[in-house]
Structure 1
């Protein structure tokens, strides 16, 4: 289910939800120009993850310009006043590092993984493109074609991503999560280099950015380097984002997608609360546990009942990603087995949640599931890169990175009664959008190659 959740909530981004190591506490600083610096020391290996996150993603776009956040991400590698197109990546590679970028609904991020003595050099490169990006019309013309081909390859030629794109567009009517991160093709076709530059000028400012550095570093030395390279970049008047609340849903919404595929597939998306306040949002923590009960380990309820015992599904899953700037969804999904229709599987998936709503869960099952869920969170902390990813994701969603460990504490406190209560409250018809994939015959042709220049 994790792969499919990523398609819905973080498509076109690196889909990680790692966590921060307990060994050291992250330290936070603020430059005079408003740029936040977060440093998490981890001295297990002489490596560093360096990231710069901008609080600007596809949810900040408007009709007619969808996909511009992702297009600009590509342009960030196409040269500055000091660097030629492609030279940024060449220099990082020459230093023995690796680099990439990612765009999501909520943010855009850029990173380098490097040996610790090379940190200042990649930091200087990142600061250069924050302030001195060059917008060449011919370079943009070439790169937007790569972006369009990437959309074809990752979405239009892939049945499951295509279905999730339709699901988002159906579930959200007012909120900009309605739009795909890749952008609608018609908007990409009409996009200009001036559109990309306007996005850069509007959002790419130190006071709209967070730097996260994790690894074998000294926090005060990182701060000194940040002041040296980023501190001189002037702050900008960043636009204030207006609320675009999703109106109440008043009945089941349905969307069907016909596409070449091997099997039918159905996904049910329920509107549920996001995590906004770690201390107060106990329903969100309970939904996290509910997702784990349904699909948090090999013998979780959906797989055990629908796949292994009843054999009515080839796969069945659940997922809930509660961190984001906008509204969130709780997903149930599955591929029906031969002899089962998507309509029947839809009812069976809902029946498993209804069973929890009516019968509750035992303390033994709750304990087992919470152990699995919390262990999974802790195991994610083994990666320096993963630590930086979670810190940045939390900060971009409006939740302080200092609350990361507190989330685990709150998961430990979830009761069986709280899980049963959210199962009763949030899985009715008025919260539900159903997307169904109807498979068409697959033509015998070679799978398309990734577009040249694909970054992530």
Structure 2
């Protein structure tokens, strides 16, 4: 599953109180158990609720060729039985407590979480500790669950044109790293996956010294420390494999692919190789890329949307995304759908997009335009403080990609340091043909 990051449009007047809210981060502490488990506790006493998230440092970018999808398959299987419960028992217990639960697998992580009354925090800890240490991973259960996983891939990727196109584009946009590996796994790998591989993956990565427990809510840090020791302290530390950050070629050369699909009008995707917050030599570069993304097509006021979608109407859809929060390098991606009444040639659309990109290279954005983009990103940070699960997600993600959770509380200041000239510089450096991969999705031809 993927977490989407929504944007909120605020006027400057509405923005003023948000600056004050961002100035005082909640009380947060960290500690580690003797077995290496790191625990981050953030207090939020506005309601008697707590969210507990267990983050494991393993995801699809860790998977070797031929074994794609192992992390996601393992996420499914740890719920199928352990030393303390049969399949479905933990879910039934949580339901009786009025709790919610979920699990996510990404490029760099696998995370499990429960949100429940803070008085029942120990229940969440007991479940999470058991899942990460004594999952049974029965071969017969896995054979059945594998069919579910394969069907999930069909529904969410193979039968979804946009998802499938992005997956294939990633396979050429990341020529030198495991970031190209799809989270769901390639279907041919799922068809030959077995329970022995799953057990080996579990033993390799699900170790307390390869995990972070994030707790946010109506809690006292000393109480959390005692509970963590009670439920996780007995787990044995293991030696985990070395996992280097997935780095990309600085200039891989222009790459492209063309797909023929049952679409009403052509679609065009552009992806540029770029560093992340973890791999940039200067973190200001990553923050400038985040804002560049907003200026291109990351909001309703962005240039591509205003000029080419709403203005000239050559696109019916246009948006961009850049994920700064990877343990390895990242992509800045622009996705568009052509308006066949105005333009039906993806090559011409590509040329028009280049014109917008070149305008940011030739002239730095006006301060007011950049300020709007900053307000949008900072608003997301501020509003995340009203959601326990988002707070925990942001803290856990940073720790899992080997960055300090304190960067969450520094985000506003770091974004505010970015200047118009910084935007112009990252556009010149990273929005180049040598870093570009494109995917053209054309209406399939009727051969009948």
2:81 paired with 1:92: no
Q: Any residues of structure 2 matched to 1:119-158 within 5 Å, and which?
A: 119-158=121-160
- Cα distance between partner residues in 2 of 1:373 and 1:204: 34
**What is the DSSP-based 3-state SS (H/G/I as helix, E as strand, rest coil) of the residue aligned with 2:385?**
helix
* Aligned counterpart, 2:2: 13
Long gaps (5+) in structure 1: 1-11, 443-456
- CA shift, 1:160, in A, is 0.3
Instruction: Return 36-45 or 239-248, whichever deviates more.
Output: 239-248
Contact in 1 for aligned 2:54/2:112 (Cα 8 Å):
yes
Instruction: Return 395-404 or 227-236, whichever deviates more.
Output: 395-404
Corresponding pairs, count: 430
Which of 140, 146, 166 is the aligned partner of 1:164?
Answer: 166
- Relative to structure 1, the CA distance from residue 65 to residue 277 in structure 2 (aligned partners, 3 Å threshold; closer, same or farther) is closer
**What is the DSSP-based 3-state SS (H/G/I as helix, E as strand, rest coil) of the residue aligned with 1:124?**
helix
Contact in 2 for aligned 1:303/1:317 (Cα 8 Å):
yes
* Aligned counterpart, 2:14: none
**What is the DSSP-based 3-state SS (H/G/I as helix, E as strand, rest coil) of the residue aligned with 1:434?**
strand
* Aligned counterpart, 1:355: 359
**What is the DSSP-based 3-state SS (H/G/I as helix, E as strand, rest coil) of the residue aligned with 2:427?**
helix
- Relative to structure 1, the CA distance from residue 389 to residue 215 in structure 2 (aligned partners, 3 Å threshold; closer, same or farther) is same
Q: CA RMSD in A?
A: 2.0
- CA shift, 1:420, in A, is 1.0
Report runs of 4+ in structure 1 exceeding 6 Å deviation.
none
**What is the DSSP-based 3-state SS (H/G/I as helix, E as strand, rest coil) of the residue aligned with 2:258?**
strand
TM-score under structure 2 normalisation? 0.92
- CA shift, 1:129, in A, is 1.7
- CA shift, 1:17, in A, is 8.0
Contact in 2 for aligned 1:278/1:406 (Cα 8 Å):
no
- Relative to structure 1, the CA distance from residue 132 to residue 17 in structure 2 (aligned partners, 3 Å threshold; closer, same or farther) is farther
Q: Any residues of structure 2 matched to 1:301-320 within 5 Å, and which?
A: 301-320=303-322
TM-score under structure 1 normalisation? 0.90
* Aligned counterpart, 1:200: 202
2:431 paired with 1:424: no
Contact in 2 for aligned 1:46/1:216 (Cα 8 Å):
yes
**What is the DSSP-based 3-state SS (H/G/I as helix, E as strand, rest coil) of the residue aligned with 2:406?**
helix
Instruction: Return 246-255 or 183-192, whichever deviates more.
Output: 246-255
* Aligned counterpart, 2:15: none
Which of 284, 287, 300 is the aligned partner of 1:285?
Answer: 287
* Aligned counterpart, 2:301: 299
Q: Deviations over 1:243-277 (max 9, x none)?
A: 55433434210012222234321110001121127
Q: Deviations over 1:393-422 (max 9, x none)?
A: 111111100121222211101111111111
* Aligned counterpart, 1:79: 81
Which of 387, 392, 403 is the aligned partner of 1:399?
Answer: 403
Q: Any residues of structure 2 matched to 1:409-420 within 5 Å, and which?
A: 409-420=413-424
- CA shift, 1:16, in A, is 4.6
Which of 264, 267, 270 is the aligned partner of 2:266?
Answer: 264
User: More relative contact order in 1 or in 2 (CA 8 Å, sep 6+)?
Assistant: 1
- Cα distance between partner residues in 1 of 2:166 and 2:25: 38
**What is the DSSP-based 3-state SS (H/G/I as helix, E as strand, rest coil) of the residue aligned with 1:229?**
helix
2:442 paired with 1:438: yes
2:220 paired with 1:218: yes
- CA shift, 1:174, in A, is 2.4
